[in-house]
Amino acid sequence: MLRQLELLNLQRVTIGGDCRLLLSGEALRHNCSCPAPTARRFDMNAHSRVWRLLSVLLAGGQATAWLFAAAAANAQPLENVQPLETVQGWGLVVDPVGDCKFEHEAGKFTIKVPGAYHDLWPGGGKVNAPMVLQEVQGDFSITVAVAHIDKAERDTRISGLGGTTSFHAGSLVIWQDAKNFVRFDRTQMDRGGQPITSCYLHIFQDGARVAEEAPAVPDRPTQLRLTRKADSLTAAYSQDGGRNWKDLTSRKIGLPAKVRAGISALNNTTRGNTVTFEGLKIEK
């Protein structure tokens, strides 16, 4: 029996008896005897109709896709498949590894990342950070306040990762897929005992970072804003409650008209990272 699925980027696929997947136009055959790609499954509730979040890691393409599937004895139509959780005003909660915690109340949303590597870094890193995303189309501006982010401490970088910098971030994200996205981080870093805070813009295209800019900022609550107009993107930040904004350099982007936008939390330390966001707003 075919089981219908839906990718996070809204591309529809089916899995048949030979486990064929279609991701971004590329067919992949997954035989159960193969060590890669792999699939992890997480129970969402204990009811008779159990929904599972499938995180499919494509080893060859260095891409990650999130799929939702019905695990009931009789698979339901695609229209009835529910995501992990949808939070009004914030969007779809995506937890690829299944180990993060989420809290939301009174205009605030908190993501708690444990002491494991969670990043949005295609290529040499991982694209496995928790995100909360909603669909948006055309020109728009997305704004959020990073009210709290845990300080990254010296010598807490996870063993085996390259470099020496301990890194925490609360981020705005504009998402097409795991190789094509924008992230704008409010960082808390420690490099050899030197604290570093910044607003760090990254633009990824086909898995490569094609633009970056990281002005240093004082360590205080910060509002982040990403504005898309046609194929132009402008990042800005404010540290006085939105009265004054500092624009970064406008960049050209190649994202489709329909994308998803929202928030994420990143961590490369053994201590983990808790980020609280406030006042997410998308304006057309």
Three-state secondary-structure class, residue 78: helix
Q: CA of 24: how far to CAs of 11, 21, 49, 52, 148, in Å? A: 8, 10, 29, 22, 36
Residues 153 and 278 in one domain: yes
Total domains present in the chain: 2
Residues 96 and 61 in one domain: no
C-alpha atoms less than 13 angstroms from C-alpha of 111 in its C-beta half-sphere: 30
Predicted confidence (pLDDT) per residue in 107-162, tens digit: 999 999 999 999 999 988 999 999 999 999 999 999 999 999 999 999 999 999 98
Residues 59 and 173 in one domain: no
pLDDT of residue 250: 97
Predicted confidence (pLDDT) per residue in 234-278, tens digit: 999 999 999 999 999 999 999 999 999 999 999 999 999 999 999
Residues 43 and 135 in one domain: no
pLDDT of residue 280: 98
Domain CATH for 165:
2.60.120.200
Q: Are residues 242 and 151 in contact, defined by beta-carbon separation less than 8 angstroms? A: no
Domain span at residue 204?
86-283
Predicted confidence (pLDDT) per residue in 28-63, tens digit: 333 333 333 333 333 333 322 222 333 332 322 333
CB atoms near residue 253 (< 10 Å): 20
Q: Which one of 50, 80, 110 terminates a domain?
A: 80
Predicted confidence (pLDDT) per residue in 196-242, tens digit: 999 999 999 999 999 999 999 999 999 999 999 999 999 999 999 99
Residues 157 and 42 in one domain: no
Residues 38 and 119 in one domain: no
Q: Which one of 53, 80, 107 terminates a domain?
A: 80
